[in-house]
Amino acid sequence: MKTILKSTIFAICATVCLTGTAVADGHLEKAASARKAVMQLYSFNLGQLGAMAKGAVEYNSETASAAANNLLALVSMNQGPLWPQGSDYVSLGHEAGAMPEIWSTYPAITEKSKALMVGATNMAKVAGMDLASLQGAMGGVGGACGGCHKVFRKKK
Amino acid sequence: MKMFKKLAEFLLPAIALGGVVFWYLTAPEYVSDDLLAGMENGDAIAGETIFWAGGCASCHGPTGKKAAGAAENKSAQFVLGGGHGLNTPFGTFYVPNISSDPKHGIGSWTGKQFANAMLKGVSPDGSHYYPAFPYTSYAKMDVKDVADLWAFMKELPAAANSNKSHDIWLPFKLRRGLGLWKMLYLNNDRMVEFENPDEKLARGQYLVESVAHCGECHTPRNIIGGFDKKRWLAGGPSPDGDGNIPNITPHDSGLGNWSLNDIVYSLESGFTPEFDSFGGSMTDVQQNMAKLSASDREAIGIYLKAVLPVASKPK
């Protein structure tokens, strides 16, 4: 009985100690929610471009350029601090959608972010030209988003 | 002792008879030769469309390191060496090499053998394929499309690699028994009956139910691995135990809030109406769909809007 009690107490202590850091300052959760905010900004700007691309709203060269430049600015940020080790969904539970493989297979993910940079750069170059160019550039960005989500985002 | 003898006299013939019946019922079925007369005269250019619609490369294409970037690199996807492991409740299936290599792939096959694999799930040596190879969907394909696909696949590069054998539970290792399963699930029946479908809807039905085999993932299965027909395309827990497969019926818990244009555009671009992107296996499927004609993507959307709405089960 005593042994069981002892090991239970030990287990509780160990759990508290191990998770203590994260709970105490919450920096991992903060990073995960900051990432989400960036993703939302991607999505907002892509939504502006996509609405034109799919014909839901009329094409406007200025709106398209602005959204594409915003997207490129977001993609160009140094996102290193947003992705600290331990901020995967296994460690953080449902707070995060990031797979631990992001860190265990590093630097594989950098190839994915390069693809996004290529897609966003191209979009910024052509979005203001005309609708057909914008439409043509959507696939490159979509492919880059999906390319990373396919392997590095937790399945929904 | 007498009793035992009597029992044996009765039991042994019964077992033997049972064995004969089993052997008879589970025998492989073949497509009649008349139907396959054109198998060696397919059109390779038309076959490429079938190749992308069928998503051949998503399973049989490059694996591991070679797969990095393959979805975006068209020619890399033409190397069909297989090797990828599919986790299922029955064990792990390793995808075979279907490249044009005569030794490791299917380069030495005839068109008729290819057609029987696609339409009847039977290998050239007369054994049943496991339905991890989605032949119950392909069984509904037009023979002409199978011939075109064959013409296209013969032109693809050879991959000289052999792959692991399937790692599945013992009772399922006896392929002969699959003949019984096929009696239940291998047929030409449509999953949905439409009264006078127009050309677009009929095309969408053909693509979704047969060539693109969407139901293979998006429809839940019963305990022996057959479709739960009442929940056609209604999604559910992923069979590999990781995540959920979306409901793509027009129910509110499925694609109910997606317009036809939303569906069609998502297949073209990979973006959902909220401008999130597809993830998981759907990213490869979408890359395949993006290579179809706009009219085929529209047909798929029209069909998905026309099927019966089914509510998702609570997770």
Which pLDDT score is estimated for B64?
Answer: 58
Which pLDDT score is estimated for A20?
Answer: 40
Which pLDDT score is estimated for A15?
Answer: 38
Q: Tell me the pLDDT of chain A averaged across its residues.
A: 87
Q: Is A149 exposed, middle or buried (0-12, 13-18, 19+ CB in 10 A)?
A: buried
For the cut 50, the answer to whether the pLDDT of residue A18 exceeds it is no
What residues does each domain of chain B span? 33-185, 199-306
Q: Which amino acid is at B236?
A: G
Cα nearest neighbour of A109 on chain B: B68
Residues of chain B with pLDDT under 50: none
pLDDT band at A21 (very low <50, low <70, confident <90, very high): very low
pLDDT band at A5 (very low <50, low <70, confident <90, very high): very low
Which pLDDT score is estimated for B76?
Answer: 84
Check: CB of residue B53 under 8 Å from CB of residue B288. yes
For the cut 80, the answer to whether the pLDDT of residue A72 exceeds it is yes
Chain B residues in contact with A53 by the CB 8 A cut-off are 265, 269
B236 Cβ under 8 Å from any chain A Cβ: no
Quick one: average pLDDT of A64-93? 95
Mutate to test the interface with A, among B63, B258, B283, B287 (most CBs of A within 10 A): B283
The answer for residues whose C-beta is within 8 angstroms of residue A55's C-beta and 6 or more apart is: B261
Task: Find the CB nearest B238 among A43, A46, A155.
Answer: A155
Please tell me the distance in Å from B16's CA to the nearest CA on chain A.
50
Quick one: average pLDDT of A72-93? 94
Chain B residues in contact with A156 by the CB 8 A cut-off are 243-244, 246, 279-280
Each residue of A99-152: pLDDT tens digit?
999 999 999 999 999 999 999 999 999 999 999 999 999 999 999 999 999 999
Which pLDDT score is estimated for B241?
Answer: 73
Which pLDDT score is estimated for B9?
Answer: 83
- CATH class of the region A28-152: mainly alpha
Each residue of B98-110: pLDDT tens digit?
999 999 999 999 9
Which pLDDT score is estimated for B66?
Answer: 56
Each residue of B155-169: pLDDT tens digit?
999 999 999 999 999
pLDDT band at A1 (very low <50, low <70, confident <90, very high): very low
- Chain B segment 239-278 residues within 8 A of A by beta carbon are 242-244, 246, 261-262, 265, 268-271, 274-278
Which pLDDT score is estimated for A148?
Answer: 95
